[in-house]
Structure 1
Amino acid sequence: MEKLNEHFTSIYYYLRPEHDEKISHQSVRILQTLEKEGALTVRNIAERFSISHNTASEHIKKLEKNNWVSKTRSSIDQRVVTIQLTKEGEEVMRLNTQLDSGKLEHVINQLTPAEQEKIMHVFQRLSEVAKDVYGR
């Protein structure tokens, strides 16, 4: 597992996109959670990250100030407010979690078609199995 983690971090280090946004790791994780799971409440976010409601709320306020998330009050129960990712938030999340497409294409094009297919298969399978880690 140690070697796999070393390879993964090297791949991310060399193929990450360059960007100027100032955003905390916790905020990136919240954006990523909203992208993967859809709209959530502040309470849901606090529970997911084992942080207090107030701490989650502060993170959400900063994300909303940057127009990376938006809030919607429930028409059924005015006490319920859901948080969702905005288009700008999706872009910031991608810049902070995905590989640079151009760099990745350059690297992949150096591999044989068989190697490319093998890598795609392995990453697809790893992604499928990873979804079960949290039982969601």
Structure 2
Amino acid sequence: MFQQVNDYFSDIYFNLHPVQKINLSHQHVRILQIIHKREYVMIRDVATHLSISHNTASDHVKKLVDNGWLVKERSVEDQRKVYLTLTDDGLSLLRNHTELDKAKLKEVIGQMTQEEQEHVISALKLLSERSR
């Protein structure tokens, strides 16, 4: 069953992914995802989540900041803490690299009955909720 889920997920992404406008490393995509999915993310959180050194995480973050996809913001409560936040361009880039192409998805979903659409949503929602 596990291999089937992986195979279907891989097929869906392969067939429905958007054209990448900007080349971005897998590590950079994951960093953008961490910052998008969690609150109050600092470089040490990125390092811990990716099992990399603080220096390596810092280098990756610097590249993302330099490209205008992330900003660093010092905490008002504790000036020692620096939080990472996606810019609008960073969020757009993340979506382009992680979401399915809306037009392709609309075409595929349009071929399904209402009942099939509800089954798809139900299954994906369940998988999403249990993965947290």
Shared fold (TM-score greater than 0.5)?
Answer: yes
- The Cα shift of 1:78 comes to 2.7
Is contact 1:39–1:85 with CA below 8 Å preserved after alignment?
A: no
**In 1: Cα distance, 2:125 partner to 2:79 partner:** 41
CA distances 1:25-52 after superposition (whole Å, capped 9, x unpaired): 0110010111110331111111111110
Q: Distance in 2 between matches of 1:75 and 1:112?
A: 51
How far the C-alpha of 1:107 sits from its partner, in A, is 0.1
Name the counterpart of 2:57: 56
Aligned position for 2:48: 47
- Show structure 1 runs of 4+ deviating over 2 A: 74-79
Runs of 5+ unmatched residues, structure 2: none
| Counterpart-to-counterpart distance in 1, 2:32 and 2:111 | 33
1:86 aligns with 2:87: yes
**What is the root-mean-square deviation of aligned Cα atoms in Å?**
1.0
SS across alignment from 1:40: coil
Distance apart, 1:73 and its partner CA: 1.4
- For structure 1, the 5+ residue unaligned runs are 132-136
Determine the structure 2 residue equivalent to 1:119: 120
Aligned mates of 1:90, 1:39 — CA distance in 2: 16
Match of 1:15 in 2: 16
Provide Cα deviations, 1:51-95, integer angstroms capped at 9, x if missing partner: 101000000001001111000112343322111111111111111
Distance 2:40 2:98 in 1: 19
- Is the alpha carbon distance of 1:79 and 1:119 closer, same or farther for their aligned partners in structure 2, counting shifts above 3 Å? same
Percent identity of paired positions between Structure 1 and Structure 2? 44
Query: Quick one: distance in 1 between partners of 2:39 and 2:97?
Result: 18
Letter in 2 for 1:103: K
Separation in structure 2 between the aligned mates of residue 67 and residue 117 of structure 1, nearest angstrom: 39
Q: Could you tell me whether the CA contact under 8 Å between 1:16 and 1:98 is conserved in 2? A: yes
Corresponding pairs, count:
131
